[in-house]
Structure formats: C-alpha cells, structure tokens
Amino acid sequence: MSDTSLYLIAKQEAKASRRFRRLMAGATVSGVEFTVDDSWVGACVVSFLIGDVRRHDVLPSVDEAWLVAGLLSSPTAGVSDIRVLPAAGVDGSYRSAVEWGRSNKELLGELLNWWAL
C-alpha cells in the first residue's frame, strides 16, 4: 500500500506583487473614503457621484483604484462622494488605471490639460 499523505516541505510567506500594494502604506487622498483594509490585495470598486449619477468602476488592484480615486478627487473633475471599496470580482472591470483614463477622457479633460502645461 502506498502512502498518499501530504507533507509540508517548506513554508514561505507569499508577498503580494508590487502592483497589489497601496502606493504608499497608510497614504490617503483628500476627499476619498477608503473602506479597504490594508491587507486587501484584490480588485476594488471606485464609487463616485457625477451630478446625480453614481458610478461604480472596478479596478484590478488597490493601487489602480487609489490612482483613479486620486484623479477623481481633483476639483476640475467635478466629482463628489468618492469611495474605494473591496470588489467581489473583476467582471466588467478595467484592466488598469490607464485604460480607465482613456475611456474617461471627457471626465478628466481639464485635469489632463492642466498636467500638459
């Protein structure tokens, strides 16, 4: 009879890729409510109001969501009530903050023009 038991050969703590860590530990963005725990490494929802319309955009990581929230917090974006929440999945999400920015040029137009100066 063969032994089919599993044995732990080595224990190594997995470190999250740089992409999945907040850009600066403990960093905050003025006007943005983060409800994501510091240990969260999954996708995030960036929820925000434009006028009377609430949008929910899913980004693949905390860093990507943090970057998008930072862009949205600019006074030129005209956005309010910005929240970053953990996402249950990535269905219908953007692959990166760059992709999100390209699809939201009209929202970020003034901000991007200001950066171009």
Whether 79 is in a domain gets the answer: yes
Whether 2 is in a domain gets the answer: no
What's the pLDDT tens digit per position in 17-33? 555 455 545 667 788 99
Whether 9 is in a domain gets the answer: no
What's the pLDDT tens digit per position in 49-82? 988 999 999 999 888 898 899 889 888 788 899 9
Per-residue tokens: 110: 């003034």
Asked whether the beta carbons of 108 and 99 are under 8 A apart, the reply is: no
Look up tokens 């023009």; give the residue: 113
Whether 41 is in a domain gets the answer: yes
Whether 6 is in a domain gets the answer: no
Whether 10 is in a domain gets the answer: no
Among 62, 82, 50, residue whose Cα is nearest residue 22: 62
Q: How many domains does the chain have?
A: 1
Give the residue numbers spanning the domain of 49. Answer: 18-116
Quickly state the pLDDT bin for 117 (edges 50, 70, 90): very low
Whether 76 is in a domain gets the answer: yes
